[in-house]
Structures are given as C-alpha cells and as structure tokens.
A and B are shown apart, each in its own frame.
Chain A
Amino acid sequence: MIDHVSDIFAFACSDAQWWDLLDEDGETPPEIASEVDREAFEAACAHVAESIQGLLEACLEAFKQRLPVKDARYDEVHRHRLRPEKVRVEQAFWVPISGKDRHLVCLTFEEDWDRKAIRLFCAIYGPKGSIDAFEKAHPTHLPETGREGDAYYASRIALTTGEAFPDVARRLVDAAWPLVESYVDQVAPRRGQRASPRKGSTKS
C-alpha cells in the first residue's frame, strides 16, 4: 500500500501534461511502441491511481477527525461522487446539514491557477446564494482560496516527494477547516446564533 508521495506521483503532479498521460484511463503515447515501455507506462498509471486513492482516503479520515462529536448540525461524513465524468478523479463528501440544501466539501486534483502544475484542492460546493453570501463574508484575498462558479476553494496544496499521506491530509484540512466551519455556521447557525443575512435581505 502506498502511504507517501512518491517521486513518480510528484512527477505526475508537476505538469498537467504528465498528469493527463498518467491518469487512470490515460493514453499511452503513440511512439511508445515496445511492450517494455508500454508495461512501464501502465505500471506508472496504476501507481498514480493508487496514490490518488490513498491520499484521498487519508484526507477523508482527517476530515472525519475534525467533525465535532456532539453537534447536531453534522452527521456522518458520506462519500459522494460528484459528476465523475466531469472531474475524473475526485472524492467528495457531504457537509451534512439536516433539512437544508445539499452542500459538499469536495477534494479534487486540478490544474493550479497558473495552469501548469496539479494541486490538491478542497472546495465547498453549495447553492449559488449560499456561496455568494459566503464569498461576501470571506473575500477570496488569500492566495490559496478562490471562487469559481458555485465552488469556493478553501485550500489548495502542492505535493512534495516523500511526504506521508496523513501529513499531506493534515495540511489540507488545517487550511480548509476554518472556512468549512464558517460556511456551516452560515448555512446552519447554532441555536442562539444569528444566521448570516441572506442576499437581498433588507434587514440590517
């Protein structure tokens, strides 16, 4: 079982072109004709797929450990695949808020905003109104955060060769958790706590 960022996994993340080629369903480049090379490429693809799975499992575990035990606003963390045909490799889970619209915390491997390397992102997905209000309260001035469509990116991290998956997961969750918690406070305030004003509300 792979438990750390290997040189090959870090190499795959270093360039979106490598990442695409080493994706789970990646294509063997056309001039790699010999069976030996093909075998090497397939082994690297399998290695990257296992690394992704291992790292995402570690992140899921790290998020579970953060969930408050006696807070009725949270339930079990559920795995959820979000449009797998759109985002090929990802793991998402609900931020489960009873009786409310669906909100997701989603982990994805995506091109960084410079469109070069691949980073591990943690994003909050929710109804547009909720994300709008959250963005208003938390301007995306931090370099690791950003808004895209109905997603608010709470953290993004680079992967370094040799780093253990639980350490990577801890880094990701440490960065994202305050924003996730704040988002949950906004959409499902604790008893006695005021909800954030809705967009367009005339109440002060």
Chain B
Amino acid sequence: MERRTIIIDPVTRIEGHSKITLHLNEDGQVEDARFHVTQFRGFEKFCEGRPYTEMPSLMARICGICPVSHLIASAKACDELLAVRIPPVAEQLRRIFGLAQVVQSHALSLFHLSSPDLLLGMDADPAKSNLFGVLEKHPQLARDGIRLRQFGQQIIERLGGKRIHPAWVVPGGVSEPLSQDNRDAILKGIPEALAIAERTLEWFKYTIEGFREEIKTFGNFPTLFMAIVKPDGGLTFYDGKVRIGDASGKLVAPGLEPSRYFEYIGEKVESWSYLKSTYYKPQGYPHGIYRVGPLARLNVADRCGTPKADQELAEFHELQRTAVLSSFHYHHARLVEILYCVERLEQLLTHADILSKHVRAEARPNTMEGIGACEAPRGTLFHHYKIDEQGLIRWANLVIATGHNNLAMNRSILQVAKHFVHGNRLTHGMLNRVEAVIRTYDPCLSCSTHALGEMALQIQLLAPNGEVLDEAVRP
C-alpha cells in the first residue's frame, strides 16, 4: 500500500477555518497528524499607528464570539498605559460583562457545536449531526441551549448596548453605570439559567458513560495546565496571578505575574499553520506543552467560591487522582463554569454598590507600555501594547487562548487518529472523532490568527503519490 494523506477540510462546527491532515504509512496506520489553521487576520499589524483609545473597540472586532474578553484585556492594558486604578464598581461591572460572555460562549460550544456528538453519538449520520438532530431527540436540550445563550447575550446587550462588539469597556473603567432596571432584569433571569446549568450537568454526567473510549483517547496525556487564579487560588475570569500545574496535580508555578508573560511563555511559528504555538519556556519547545481553558482552570483552581459550583468542582476533581487529563472533560469543565458564572453573576449584581455612578477614572497616558490579561472562555488572554509620545500604538502582541492549546490540539489529533483511523477502512465516525477532539478545545481561530507579514509560509504542490512538484518558501 502506498503512503496516503487523508484531509478533513474544513473542520466543521468550530469557530473559523482549518483543515486536518493525517499522514498514513505504507501499512495504512496513522504516522502523523496536523491541525492546519488556514485563515489569516493580521490585527497586531494593522493597529500600529492607531490611538491607544481605539484599541478596546478595535480588538473587540477580532471575534464575534468572545469580543468581551478582548475588550477587557485591551482595556486592562490601556489602564496600565494610564497608570490608573479603576473604580471598584467598574471592575465589578467588567467582571459581570466577562461572566455573561463565558455563559453564552460556553453554551454555544456545548449546546450548538458539540451536543450532536454527545447526544447522537460519534457515528451518527452526518446529515443529522446538527441542532435539528438534537431537537428531534432531546428538544429540551435544544431549547435550553438557546435560552442560556440568550441569557448571556442579553446581559451583554443590556450593559454594552449591543450583543456583538460592544464598546462599553473603556480605558479607565466602563462608559456607563448599571441602571436599576437592567440590574433587576438580569437578576430575573438567574433562576432559569441556574436550572438549565444544573439539569444539563446532570444530563452530561449520565451521558459520558457512553464515551469511555473517547475519554481514554481524546487528548488523554500529561501536559502542564495554565490559568489565572485569585490570590486565594479561586476560579476567576478577570484578575489574579498565573498559576501553572503539572499532570500530577502539583503546582510548578503557583503565582506568576501576568505582566511578565513573555518571561515564561514562548511563541513558535510552524510553517504549516497560521496559528502560533506557545510553550512554557522553562521546559522548551515542544516539551513545554500546556493546556488552557475550562479544563486547565478547574485543574489549577482550589475552589470556585460559589456553593453549587464548589460542589461540582469537588466532584470534577474526583474524576482523576492527578490532574484531570483527558480533553474530553473540557465539556464537563465548561458546564461547571457555566454554573459558577450564573451563581457569581447573582453575587455581583446583588452587591450594595453595584449601581454606583462612579465607573471611570480619567487620565492621560503615564507609561509607554501596558499589558492586560484575563481569562477568556477558551483560556488565558494577553494583550501587550507599546505607544509613542502621541499615544499611538507602536507595537502590539496578542497571546490568545487557542494558540496556547495549539500543541495540545495537534497531539490530541494524533492520539485520536492513531486509535480510531485505519487506512484500509475509513468511516465517518472515525473521521468525526478526529474533528470532535478539536471541538473539545472549542478553538476560536478567528481570534488566534492575528499575525501579519512575519509569518513563515510554505506552499507545496503535491502529486497524488505525495511527490513534491514545486515549493515556495518564505523564511
């Protein structure tokens, strides 16, 4: 048998455009696998020369799913440029904004993108592996997904004025305080959102019993895990120290400064993808592989800080004595985080000062460099800007969650492909599992492909037998 390459293009039910290549050896066994991100954005480059005040709004345009995370990280970087301490209520309002986005983004990932696999199975007819297939089999689940997304989106709309690309988060705080009407309307939706989160968790815990083989083979290998945690080790999406834990569950870095990210995180460009691969510098490339996002956050967090989510976290930690290693459990972690977010929203919205009108600190730039970090739905997000004397952006670097997970996604594909794909018998179910492992990470490729002009490019023209007929390389 001759060597063959199987191409899955495009990968479906993810955010953005990508393809996967599986390289088979002469025996039809998978020898290598790669996740190619084929779209290209360029935000770091084209924001050069723009006033720093535009950055939050510009950066929100990176993504239609998680614009709020970019707004928050960008505004925090600008807070540093201003060298201001923002009003406490502004910080709480930003937290509410971020939590609402996590709810809607996680709901999209779980209910709309991954629930067909979970409910109908990995071998289901591809024509039915969609929301219609879900609503046929479990209409309540389909309706719950829609309601939960609406809950998150409506909070964003109430605070930011619109659902997508709101510009309410600004350097120094937020542009408008929370009105009592909006506070009350959001609080009214909490009981239903909580009920949906709880019943979906119960459904999920029952459902995963049918996925033991996938749990064993979906990115089930040792890596580091990284997330921002509160000073007490609690789960957070807004502020804290970067914590890195290993596969055994031990902390290798308990409290790194987010503003020194470049000292411990390296970025590597591979010729076959527009998505950069990050790694933990002390362990080098590619050994410094780590994961971020829901699985990593729950692995490194000691507690959630809300009653129901803390119970679920304790149960989650019991899945494995070490860190929870299988990427299949990203789904589970996502649901625990939804529960946490809804509970935390209620805590924040019922705080005595939340309707305070003092929501913005005014200042001019006082430093020339600022770094903002937060936890986006998919993981740790860094925005790093340098400005000139006129306040214009001279340089920007964005380190995005999906990039942090790039090495792990590639290794996960290889693990799944080796287990499920055999060249002499290809089935939809096998190939769907290769895609499904990518979906566990919920990659947002629109966010993560932002470099322009400095990307090494390699274009190969291949004959059907794999022979390279022509090649163009930009080093």
Determine if chain A interacts with chain B: no
Using a CB–CB cutoff of 8 Å, the interface residues on chain B facing chain A are none
Using a CB–CB cutoff of 8 Å, the interface residues on chain A facing chain B are none
